[in-house]
Chain A
Amino acid sequence: MTRPGDPIMKIRDVTRTYQVSQGLFRGRRPLQALRGITLDIPKGRVLGLVGESGCGKSTLAQILLGLDRPTGGEILFEDRPIADYGRKVFGSRIQPIFQDPYSSLNPRKTVRQLIEMPLVVHGNRDSADRERRVRRMLDLMGMPSRVIDAYPAQMSGGQRQRIAIARALVTEPDVVICDEPTSALDVSVQAQVLNLLMDLRAEFDLTYLFISHDLGVVEHISDRVAVMYLGQIVEEADAETLFRAPAHPYTKALLASILVPDPHRGPPSVPLKAVQPDAMNLPSGCVFHPRCAEAVATCSVTAPDESVVGDHRTRCVVGLPSH
């Protein structure tokens, strides 16, 4: 058994390269979506994963869920390669919650069918037991059991996301991959769903990988945070440290972009050059240097190694301050 705080999943130098078609008469070109990701997901904790669209965070989620295979590297679940687990066994222990509860729920299925589907897939043939589990899930989600025969179309966005959460938790997984779980929701509904996710985490000792572009939400919910840029982890630290003393210039730019309500300040100035990153055509040296406000001459030549102080690591020549 993995103890709380120890890694339940270990991601080791994972790469994923897609061959992208350039058009009918042109050849394919490689797109390196993940370029050597090494990351531990600590048991019973919330690991936040942030980065802009196209940085590879959803590709990583797909690979962790077994929906896509890495080109290189290895993923260990409780110290065994995930390939060693049968697909079904592994699938019941790691479950997803996706962004859009409007498209992730089949509109032709009732709430009962939606929530019990993972149980059926994993071979539970006892319909009375399945019904008991579905009702218990609805109860946990704070939903009346009369919705059991309703269809998603009859529900609000927040209710649908609760169904999606119930479906993810009904197999009693260890790890839940939350990919932008509240991004499609209104502020007041987001608060309800975040509170629910936190309660469930504590009650069932769940481990979350919480992927979001909303740094306010990530700061609120996460114990540790990893920042991705163009297929690499550029910084990782406990949430307190990362938000108080960010080391990587990209993390600093992200934090500067957070818009805390403040009527006495205008839009922030973000220390970031307006160059568009292109994953098909990576810059030389440090891939962040064309946008970096702190870049020095060597940055366009040499890709920086990772520097580590305690459990804070970053990938930048400026390096880490000693804590």
Chain B
Amino acid sequence: MTNRTEPLLTVEDLSVSIPVPAGILSAVRSVSFTLDRGETLGIVGESGCGKSMMSMAIMGLLPRHVTVRAETLRFEGMDLLGLPERRLADLRGDRMAMIFQEPMTALNPLLTIGEQLMETFRRHRAAGRREAREKALHLLDRVGIASAERRLGQYPHQLSGGLRQRVMIAMALMCDPDLIIADEPTTALDVTIQAQILALLAELQRESGAAMIFVSHDLGVISRVADKVSVMYAGSEVEGGSTAQVFGTPAHPYTQGLFRCLPNSGLVARGAPLGSIPGVVPSLIGDVSGCMFRPRCPLARDACLEAVPAAAVADGHRARCVALADAAAAAPLVQEASAP
């Protein structure tokens, strides 16, 4: 039984490293957060920042040669790193479920929608066909799929992208999980469908009280679904806090730079040059000490070569940047961002 005062998920000092021919690739370094029931954590960052690796590590889905270390990785009072694979497999799909980006590759093309929906439920609940079928019909209806009876007998290729993603969501919800990890669940969809799926996810989460980790590269999406946000760069969290804090008063130069790159953030006039972050993402193989953003940072200084601890910006709002003492550095963007 879960202790009432303990968060649903506690992640402390999580690191993921991958041996590659050139050395060790530090994909995720020292990430910490907690998640309560009913809460949504948005993880945002660009390709290679480690956001997907982190969710795979929590789900225990990384291959054996990848090293996952953590001070604490507790879910419902259980130490996930200490669990044998068989127990983890029992948890996956039951207490924690994942929604992937591309439903065409995540769904099995050889099984009908019905078979795939019912499989999870029957495995975890030792339930009969009829019970599983009823649950599947109920959920398909719930995620807005009309004529659910007919859909149960169809194969993934007979459905459109939006419908397949709805099926993925229904599948994730079959066992009423406590934690849903959604990795870019709307990235492959048309914008109108994306908006509908996001509204659906938010509604289902409110109903079920599940916690959600929502991984996306899209700042607009994250701002609309998350209660709190973690901005990742090159494997570590550079800034974190409530969504209002991170989007209202971004403190880290990387977060600020990302906002200036957006064509529709209100920071840049139509047709005017967008802000950009010069340079490219650094290699994560070998030496990853100090602030990894320093080669691209307008505020870089000698102190950035040392390890940079997360500093509090405000209550619950933290950022890893030595320039934070410089309150003036954050000020201009804050004023612009608060303008309508």
Interfacial residues, chain A to chain B (CB-CB below 8 A): 52-53, 156-158, 186-192, 194-195, 198, 213-217, 219-221, 239-240, 253-254, 256-270, 272, 274, 276
Contacts and interface: CB of A to CB of B under 8 A. Distances in A.
Contacts of A189: 46
A263 B280 contact: no
11 contacts: A52-B193, A188-B257, A190-B261, A216-B263, A219-B263, A254-B191, A259-B194, A261-B220, A261-B259, A261-B262, A263-B242
Given A254-B192, A257-B192, A266-B199, A195 B244 contact: no
Given A187-B258, A216-B263, A257-B195, A263 B190 contact: no
Given A216-B264, A261-B220, A263-B248, A186 B192 contact: no
Which of B160, B195, B246, B275 has its CB near the most chain A CB atoms (within 10 A)?
B195
B260 to A, nearest CB: 8
Interface residues of B, number: 54
Contact of A188 (B218, B242, B243, B258): B258
A189 B199 CA distance: 29
A256 B194 CA distance: 11
Contact of B161 (A53, A156, A195, A270): A53
B223 interface: yes
Contact of B196 (A195, A260, A261, A272): A272
B148 to A, nearest CB: 13
B292 to A, nearest CB: 14
The main secondary structure of chain B at its interface with chain A is helix
Contact of A263 (B192, B202, B223, B270): B223
A257 B194 contact: yes
Contacts of B308: none
A190 to B, nearest CB: 7
B163 A267 contact: no
A266 B225 contact: yes
Given A53-B161, A216-B264, 19 more contacts: A187-B261, A187-B262, A191-B261, A191-B262, A215-B264, A219-B263, A258-B191, A259-B221, A259-B223, A259-B224, A261-B222, A261-B265, A262-B247, A263-B243, A266-B199, A267-B199, A267-B202, A274-B144, A276-B162
A264 B225 CA distance: 10
B273 A156 contact: no
A260 B266 contact: yes
B271 interface: yes
B191 A257 contact: yes
B192 A272 contact: yes
Nearest to A268: B195
B300 interface: no
